Structure 1
Amino acid sequence: MSNTSIKKSLVFAILILLVWGCKVSETSLKTENKAVPISFGQTSASEEAELKPWKSLFTDPYLIALIDTALVHNQELNILLQEINIVNNEVRAKKGEYLPFVDLQAGGGMDKVGRYTRDGVVEANHEIKEGKEFPEPLSDVMVGAFASWELDVWKKLRNAKKSAVFNYLSSVEGKNFMVTQMVAEIANSYFELLALDNQLEILNQNIEIQTNALQIVKMQKEAAKVTELAVKRFEAEVAKNKSLIYLIHQQITEEENKINLLLGRFPQPILRNSGAFQSLIPKRIEAGLPSQLLANRPDIRQAELDLEAAKLDVKVAKANFYPQFRITAGLGFQAFNPKYLVTTPESLIYSFAGDLVAPLINRNAIKAHYNSATSKQVQAVFNYERSILNGYLEVANQLALISNLEKSYALKTQQVEALTSSISISNNLFRSARADYMEVLLTQRDALEAKLELIETKRDQLHALVNVYQALGGGWN
């Protein structure tokens, strides 16, 4: 066969591989919907969301110290940081795949062939020097550099590297989102502790009041003004409130240990300033525009980066249908005797070759991989849209809660003031026999419940402040 025929056959074979390899059933990618309402349902909204660093939002030095400790010692956060390092190494690995691979190789060996074989006849009839036959056995020494390089014609390798980069950035945003959750959880638990301490104080005060009232009832019974029933009802009320103290102590223990877990340490008391709880006034946070959630919330940014990575993964899977071009080359020295190893050009060896490979039969695995990548891209779109919707609803709910709790707290304050005044009034009326003992008992009970509810409302206000700050995307920076 002539050289011309060989060239024509090679060209024909290459064309067949290109045409067959490029036959791909095209699947359009699903596009994401980024549209959000223009406001959070407020009558007026600021243009910029107020997302100051968390140390500007929280001024309590005990709370700041707790959060600082958690950012260093929280085990889950440190595990996530190592995951980020792993993903970063994957980026470096993907980057190296579309660069040439060069290996240094050295070797040696020895070979003895039979004289009555083809190689034996060749050795016997060819001399290196006059009067010298091939050495027997024949040694072989080689050293050289050999390279292989897959030409990234379809950008498969570069797209894989870009996808790894997006996955790395996504893992960073995942860490940021975890930090926002951890900061919010510690702050909410800290405020819960302050509220429990204040409830405990009010409960002790109320027990003291009821104990005094019990003594009065006992004196009234001795004077035959009330019956034993009144004494027993007051004793039961005092016992009930004393039992509540132990329940609150248990809640305090559990809340402290919840914080200790986040701080990565064994149980110990949580230092706090409970006396400042009643004077805490929740700050107002400007929510900004809903569209800013796309840039501010780490979980939304993470979902967006995951979507970009999924799009590139589809391109990588699609490129598997196309022919692959590979170049191999080598350069080195080889001789049967080490003293001839660097003798040039006699011992010089080199090679250069190009390969073209395309899938021809049984492409089911490639099709399955491509279809899976396409489905994952659709999943990423839905996850991104869900993250946007969830972020918007969280902010809207917390803003409405802040407004409603502010009005509720004002009314509960009036209720507590009225019931506190009614305690002394009912006691005076009871002493002068113008009020029934049940009126005294119910008044004290209502006043206690109102005070406890007022503390819970204050706690809920502080929780709403923390939650809206987190929902807007603050707390990680």
Structure 2
Amino acid sequence: MKQQLRKVIFILVCGCLASCASPKLAPTKTLAPLPEGEMAIVPDSVTLKETPKLSTYFSDKKLVQLFEIALASNPDIQIAKERIAIANSYLVRSKKVRLPNLDLELSASGTRFGDYTMEGVGNFDTNLSSNINERQIINTNLTPNYFVGLQSAWEADIWGKLKKLSEAARNRYLASREGERLVRATLFTDIAVLYFELIALDKKLTIYEENYALQQKAYEIIAAQRSVGKATELAVQQFQAQSKNLETEISLLKIEVLEVENALNALLGKYTYRIDRGNTLMTVNNEDSKAKEQYVRLLFNRPDVLQHYFELQASQADAKAAKAAFLPRLVLGSRFGYNAFSAETLFLPGSLTYQLLGGLFTPLLNRSQLKLEFNVASKEQEIAFWGYQKSVIQAYTELQTLLGKREIYQKTLALKAQEVGHLKRAVEVANDLYITGYANYMELINTQKNKLTADLDLLHFELDTTLNTIILFKALGGSLETSQ
């Protein structure tokens, strides 16, 4: 007997030693350093207090109001919120797994033991014993078994596997929150772009109407001179054609306004909503005083970068949990309650029973499956790292592009504003010269065309500057907290 026990112990020890030979984790990779120097990869080094704020970055209250409406009714926002709730449920569940479970058990069964089984023979002999009373006689035709009580089981997290799984769930919850921030940022950017495109269309419509008024004024001059023989019919027809062209452009602009308003309604989650808007584009953002290095530091607070960072942390925790799965598991349990083979004796003091147990479980035949799961977790960790690296590269290059475009736009705007001023004066001079006979009607037409083109170009660069400023706010991980 002792020799057999030694063999069992020897087998268990060998199994435990074999299970301890778990695969090695891949070395942790670090981000490639940015051109400005080595940057900390831990986003906790950047706080939300350093990021630009919606209320200070954008002074247009009507735009902020539209965003608040979208937060309440946009379907993508509502979906993102539900995903956060799901991730939070997984997080809570991962914490509960580390605690002992406690179940209330109510069970009843009936068994007919054969005459040639140990239980059947044992029950028959027990009924013949003089040491039992009437309540202890066993029904051998159908032996009942009743139990009412509590049972509990707990896995001791001696290797930290359950802790790592909980850590992975926590990081996925944080990633889901950053995913919701990303949805909010994308939504606000789209709303702001369409909002300022509407303002630009309003301004474009004003430009065409003003140029149409100038065209009409010039036409009146030509028509008057035609009546006294100082101008030809060709000049009159040319100016009429120009007027019709401007009227056509004004009508087409109204179609564009309708399309943009409907697109904006879709983002707001509304079928129809009157878009109340201002009349000013953004030409300078409120964060221009920041140094370039401060901008780069803010990259690590962007929701897309943070989302990949937390996914990387979750994948690393998963890999460590998969490694710990090769090690022995210690499970402790207990059972306490009333157990009897007759209903009338179930709740008697003599039916009270309890059990304490403990077990050490080590994987043997399923090690190949555990290796596959570990390999998958390791590859997921690699994918998560390269996703994080990619997000940082994209964030950095996007920021460099936006900052470079901002400098060029500021110079271009100044030049275009001067050009528009010169051409406005040129139109006035051309009208005077035409009246006095020092300019022909083609020079007058060309001067007005050039002014219209310059006005539209200036508006185009103002809109591009505005859109660049909007995207820069998103690129810096701007805080989208509103009054809600």
Q: Under a length normalisation based on structure 2, what TM-score does the superposition of the two structures give?
A: 0.88
More divergent stretch after superposition (220-229 vs 61-70): 220-229
Q: Which runs of 5+ in 2 are unaligned?
A: 38-45
Please point out which of 28, 35, 38 is paired with 2:36.
38
- CA positional deviation for 1:314: 0.7
Q: Secondary structure at the match of 1:144?
A: strand
- Residue 94 of structure 2 is aligned to residue 94 of structure 1: yes
The match for 2:82 is 82
8 Å CA contact 1:282, 1:465 repeated in 2: yes
Per-residue CA distance 1:248-296 (angstroms, 9 max, x = gap): 222222222232222211133210122x459x75434325525522543
Flag the 1:302–1:137 CA change in 2: closer, same or farther, 3 A.
closer
Taking the TM superposition and a 5 Å limit, the aligned residue runs for 1:43-442 are 51-111=51-111, 118-119=120-121, 121-122=124-125, 124-126=127-129, 128-129=132-133, 133-135=137-139, 137-274=142-279, 276-277=280-281, 282-285=285-288, 286-287=290-291, 288-289=293-294, 292-344=297-349, 346-361=350-365, 363-442=367-446
8 Å CA contact 1:74, 1:264 repeated in 2: yes
- Residue 9 of structure 2 is aligned to residue 11 of structure 1: yes
Please point out which of 463, 467, 474 is paired with 2:471.
467
The match for 2:43 is none
8 Å CA contact 1:317, 1:369 repeated in 2: yes
The one-letter code sitting in structure 1 at the alignment partner of 2:274 is: P
Q: Secondary structure at the match of 2:336?
A: strand
Q: Distance in 2 between matches of 1:453 and 1:415?
A: 10
Q: Which runs of 5+ in 1 are unaligned?
A: 40-46
More divergent stretch after superposition (461-470 vs 163-172): 461-470
Flag the 1:116–1:320 CA change in 2: closer, same or farther, 3 A.
closer
8 Å CA contact 1:159, 1:315 repeated in 2: yes
The one-letter code sitting in structure 2 at the alignment partner of 1:465 is: T
Q: Secondary structure at the match of 1:371?
A: helix
Per-residue CA distance 1:161-218 (angstroms, 9 max, x = gap): 1000011011111212222222233222222211110110110111122123234334
Q: Secondary structure at the match of 2:236?
A: helix
The one-letter code sitting in structure 2 at the alignment partner of 1:211 is: Q
The one-letter code sitting in structure 1 at the alignment partner of 2:395 is: G
8 Å CA contact 1:293, 1:300 repeated in 2: no
Q: Secondary structure at the match of 1:289?
A: helix
Q: How many positions carry a matched residue from both structures?
A: 465
8 Å CA contact 1:14, 1:356 repeated in 2: no
Q: Secondary structure at the match of 2:414?
A: helix
The one-letter code sitting in structure 1 at the alignment partner of 2:370 is: I
Q: Secondary structure at the match of 2:105?
A: strand
Q: Secondary structure at the match of 2:286?
A: coil
Q: Distance in 1 between matches of 2:116 and 2:414?
A: 111
8 Å CA contact 2:284, 2:469 repeated in 1: no
The one-letter code sitting in structure 1 at the alignment partner of 2:451 is: A
Q: Distance in 2 between matches of 1:146 and 1:162?
A: 28
8 Å CA contact 2:105, 2:149 repeated in 1: yes
Deviation beyond 6 Å, 4+ runs, structure 1? 114-117
- Residue 31 of structure 2 is aligned to residue 25 of structure 1: no
The one-letter code sitting in structure 1 at the alignment partner of 2:247 is: K
Q: Calculate the aligned-residue CA RMSD, in Å.
A: 2.7
The one-letter code sitting in structure 2 at the alignment partner of 1:457 is: F
Flag the 1:159–1:255 CA change in 2: closer, same or farther, 3 A.
same
8 Å CA contact 2:199, 2:278 repeated in 1: yes
Q: Distance in 1 between matches of 2:9 and 2:31?
A: 47
Q: Distance in 2 between matches of 1:11 and 1:34?
A: 51
Q: Distance in 1 between matches of 2:162 and 2:361?
A: 16
Please point out which of 453, 459, 472 is paired with 2:457.
453
8 Å CA contact 2:182, 2:304 repeated in 1: yes
Q: Secondary structure at the match of 1:17?
A: helix
8 Å CA contact 1:310, 1:377 repeated in 2: yes
Q: Distance in 1 between matches of 2:407 and 2:319?
A: 46
8 Å CA contact 2:57, 2:285 repeated in 1: no
Identity score, percent: 30
The one-letter code sitting in structure 2 at the alignment partner of 1:13 is: I
